[in-house]
Structure 1
Amino acid sequence: MKFRFTCFTFLISTLISTFATADIQQDIIDIEGKMLDWRRHLHQNPELSNREFKTSSYVEKHLKALGLEVKTGIAYTGVVGILKGDKPGPTLALRADMDALPVTEQVDLSFVSKATAEYRGETIGVMHACGHDTHVAILMATAEVFAKNKADLEGTLMFIFQPAEEGAPGDEEGGAELMLAEGLFNDMKPDAAFGLHVWSKVNSGILAFRSGPFMAAVDDFELKVIGRQTHGSTPWSGIDPIVTAAQIINSVQTIVSRRTAITTAPAVVSFGAIKGGIRNNIIPDDVTMVGTIRNFDMDIRDDIHRHLGNIVSHVAQANDADVEFKINEGYPVTVNDPELAEKMLPSLYKIFGKDNVVDPGLITGAEDFSYFANEVPGMFFFLGITPQGKDASTAPSNHSPHFYVDEPALLNGVKAFVQLVQDY
């Protein structure tokens, strides 16, 4: 009799769970129209990093209407909504970034962005060329779905709407790092954090994910080689910063090719700009250069910094030139926690099918979700948004003025977040 009762109780429990799942799945379907309206509004009203004032207000209003506890002004414009379920359970963080880019949109849409802003002293177009408008809309939709199903929610959800993922302007601080520095996780530290990003290099219906190191650490560097101006006909009368700069560029290539254990993890050191001189027969006083460093191992990152500093200083010294050199540390490596990945991958398979969850390999792009994943186990994945039937490898990339989002794919983002929370 006891066995029968236990089985009956289990059956009822299973039926209740099934009904709850059916209800929440219908809520996901029903939210699609609203989500696309939100996305289009945000797309038409993009704002640059640390300037997401209207965006954060839009999000705040939505979260408050859902009855969530809302915190604002974190890292200038960040918004966090707290939803406490009616049942005990873990605390999970779901994150979306909000900022747009200084890009003039060239996509033929009824809701094309015509916004402009001042960037580095120039008036430029502003566009959600990386899809952060979709991330915000997906998370707003996810928040509404769970708010409607609060009675069945086991635990607490933190909906993090983060500013300045693309980098704070000038000397300002910002983004995930500043949110954490201002105490985001002090009073409520989640057991895990989940984040997603739309990606044009993957077709709709496909999700890209890999366990362990996923996206690169990124740093930028700037240096100024200071020589002594002289006439081009008498180079011995001065100190040539152009020749010195050329030697630095060539020598820096040996950092990856000869000094880095690339079998441990790949790395890239690239120069992006060089400026010096104005006339063919005048050797200038100085040359300025800037570049980027990408890698997937923090120890290797430290070694690259050290090698780069040594080469810059010693090559300059060998040419009797002076040098001003600075590395601006950016985001650390984005690492998907292996234990969390193993536990939660089956949840993604439920939504996309196992064959449609693909490993894209290491990605040399960078993401400041890495700061959250350094504090708690993190899981970050890419949502395909290039229409099926089109060659995703030739689709305009994220940050392109032609960047295009296949809107029906966005509901997969909501489904993924909901499934991850339910299964966790």
Structure 2
Amino acid sequence: MIRNFLLLTTLFGFNAIADIQQDIENIETQMLEWRRHIHQHPELSNREYKTAEYVASHLKSLGMKVETGIAFTGVVGILEGDQPGPLLALRADMDALPVTEQVDLPFASKVTAEYRGEPVGVMHACGHDTHVAILMAVAEVFANNTDQLAGTLMFIFQPAEEGAPGDEEGGAELMLAEGLFKDMKPEAAFGLHVTSSMPSGVIGYRQGPMMAAVDDFELTVIGQQTHGSRPWSGIDPIVTSAQIINSVQTIISRRTDVTKAPAVVSFGAIKGGIRNNIIPDDVTMVGTIRNFDMGIRDNIHHQLGHIIDHVAEANDAHVEFKINEGYPVTVNDPALGEKMLPSLVKVFGDRGVVDPGLITGAEDFSYFANEVPGLYFFMGVTPPDRDYTTAPTNHSPHFYVDESALLNGVRAFVQLVQDY
């Protein structure tokens, strides 16, 4: 009977399955070393030179075909399995944020850099260091088990997810523009993001729209300077700006069908004048647009320009207005989600997979998901002894990651690939 069981395990690959699962467990220590190294040496968007070298060196050591310098610092590794099958893409983003770390860790970042002309601290305050380390671990697990890989994997280490600086291009959009999927187009793309808003061992996933499209806008209202005691002798850009701000709020409250999909238009900064009794020549404002429907997005753009122009005209002011189009809506392909959701349940359990609702944050994984069916999910990293509802959020200088949760990211990617 024992001989028959051993024969069955050999024939049906049970030993091989056990081997790859053991390799996942064994990679944890190394993965955490990678994560801590990257965390201690963060780099801003489009400046991920050392991180890219670190990743490329690892992928080359695994015998992969490696291409570097995509979208400035992007790295792509190609791993072919021993059996024929589909091409799948796995993605991790590499950039850090202009945030000064305030977490008491032995590997806390002390790095500084220049951002928008000012000296800043640099921190992996969004967890991209964990994404890189997780994907490096997945690469090693599959490189050591190509007999368990029916197909080919494209490991995408992407720069500038947080947005390219200044007038530079970058991120997923630029990688695609430079031909990332031109010669090798994946059947599907998978991505994850750690979050402090969920406890460790839980993931957030929903089919269809998941994260908002994002656009930024900037405008300058140009009036005519005059003394504050004689407002009739000039054109007041401050009053005009106030009217614009109030009128713009009607775009969502009165001009958008919010039963179809939610949307937000917010002003984030306004600057004009310097003295209490001088009406200035101009006022500048910046803001953001978030939505989950591209038709609604187009209407918001139209209404925003229409209101700004006409309110300015009514006040005899002029306006310079520009919308900087950002990331589109991040959509999880329904058919892919239906097929792969059981894989996530295998790793996290029925109670470990929750619907986080629509998220008004944005992600440039959306560009990949516009090209091929995409599946993107959030993974909780707040430890059990902390309240995830009050934990410092992503982008906070106090953002903290429960490292014991990271191996679940490796398990999830491996499960998704094997089941697909």
Question: TM-score category by the smaller chain?
Answer: over 0.9
String of CA shifts for 1:66-93, please: whole Å, max 9, x gaps.
0000010000000000001010001000
Q: Mapping of 1:402-413 within 5 angstroms?
A: 402-413=398-409
1:14 Cα shift? 8.3
Write the deviation string for residues 25-55 of structure 1: whole angstroms up to 9, x where unpaired. Answer: 0000000000000000000000000000000
Q: Which amino acid aligns with 1:366?
A: A
Alignment match, 1:271:
267
Whether 1:192 aligns to 2:188 is yes
What residue number does 1:147 align with?
143
CA distance in 1, matches of 2:381, 2:356: 15
Partner of 1:252: 248
Tell me the equivalent position of 2:14: 18
Give me the whole-angstrom Cα distance separating, in 2, the residues matched to 1:332 and 1:18.
43
The reply on whether 1:357 has 2:353 as its aligned counterpart is yes
Q: Distance in 2 between matches of 1:279 and 1:398?
A: 38
Matches within 5 A, 1:191-210: 191-210=187-206
Whether the aligned pair in 1 keeps the contact of 2:213 and 2:326 (CA below 8 Å) is yes
Amino acid at match of 1:252: V
Q: Is the 8 A contact 2:102 2:398 kept in 1?
A: yes
Distance apart, 1:152 and its partner CA: 2.1
| Counterpart check, 1:291 vs 2:287 | yes
Following superposition, the deviation at residue 60 of structure 1 comes to: 0.3
For 2:335, the equivalent position in structure 1 comes to 339
Contact 2:88 2:154 in 1 (8 A): yes
Encode CA deviations 1:59-118: one digit per residue, 9 max, x unaligned. Answer: 000000000000100000000000010100010000000000000000000000000001
Please list, as runs of the form range in 1=range in 2, the aligned pairs for 1:23-422 lying within 5 A after superposition.
23-422=19-418
TM-score by length of structure 1 reads 0.97
- Per-residue deviation, 1:122: 1.1
Report how far residue 16 of structure 1 moved. 2.8
How far residue 390 of structure 1 moved from its aligned partner, in angstroms, is: 1.8
Give runs of ≥4 in structure 1 deviating > 6 Å: none
Matching residue of 1:5: none
Query: In structure 1, what residue type is equivalent to 2:52?
Result: S
CA RMSD of aligned residues (A): 1.0
Q: State the distance in 2 between where 1:120 and 1:330 align.
A: 19
Q: Distance in 2 between matches of 1:208 and 1:232?
A: 54
Aligned-partner Cα distance in 1 for 2:368–2:66 = 19
Residues in 2 aligned to 1:269 and 1:240: alpha-carbon distance in whole angstroms = 24
Q: Distance in 2 between matches of 1:170 and 1:360?
A: 32
Query: 2:9, 2:15 within 8 Å by CA — same for their partners in 1?
Result: no
Listed one character per residue, the Cα deviations across residues 361-414 of structure 1 (whole Å, up to 9, x for unaligned) are: 000000000000000000000010000132101000000000000000000000
> What code does the residue aligned with 1:39 have?
R
Counterpart residue type for residue 397 of structure 2: P
Paired residue type of 1:274: I
* Identical counterparts, % of pairs: 79
Q: Give the AA of the match of 2:229.
A: S
List gaps (5 residues or longer) in structure 2.
none
Tell me, in whole angstroms, the C-alpha distance in 2 between the residues paired with 1:13 and 1:178.
Answer: 47
In the alignment, structure 1 segments of 5+ residues that lack a partner are 1-7
Distance 1:46 1:281 in 2: 46
Q: Distance in 2 between matches of 1:275 and 1:214?
A: 34
Q: Match of 1:81, as an amino acid? A: G
How many matched pairs?
415
